[in-house]
Every structure is written in structure tokens, then in C-alpha cells.
Amino acid sequence: MALKDHPKLHAAFNDLMAEKAVIVEQTGPLREKRDKLRNKIAPLEVELRGLNKEIAVIERPDLVDIDIQLSAIAKAAGGIVMKADT
């Protein structure tokens, strides 16, 4: 069976498609502007992800261990917030 075999459903479908077309037409210029902006941002996001990976490779093993030790010291000190000597 096809939609055309159900006149009321077919009419409702066409009405909704027309309503959708009006809305999509209104947002068209905004979507174009968004897409242009996204195209400008995309290379920066790739670069950002690369930098985050490089940072993680350097920091992850040592900083996680240091943070665990700092947490243990703070807990041993009764949960006092400790500040490094400057």
C-alpha cells in the first residue's frame, strides 16, 4: 500500500511537509553561516585534539601519580588544604 491509498493521511503528510519546508527555508541562511563557521573551526579542533594528546602523553603517567600522593598527604594532614611554599 502506498500513502496515496490513504487520502487523509496523504493530505496530512503533505501539510506537514509544507510546514517543514517553510521552517527549513527560514533557517537556511543561518545554517549556511553555521556551516561556514564550522569549516573555519574544524582545522583548529584537529590541532587542539593533537595538542591535548601530546600533553596527555607527557603529563599522564607522572601527574596522576603526583596527584595521588598529594591526595594522600592532604588526607594524612586531616583533610587540610595545603598550598605549596612559594
pLDDT digits (tens, 9 = 90+) for 46-82: 999 999 999 999 988 899 899 999 999 988 988 766 6
Residues 6-43: tens digit of each pLDDT: 999 999 999 999 999 999 999 999 999 999 999 999 99
How many of the other CB atoms lie within 10 Å of CB of 70?
A: 13
Q: 0.85 exceeded by the pTM?
A: no
Closest CA to 11 of 19, 40, 26, 84: 19
What whole-number distance in Å separates Cα of residue 3 and Cα of residue 68?
64
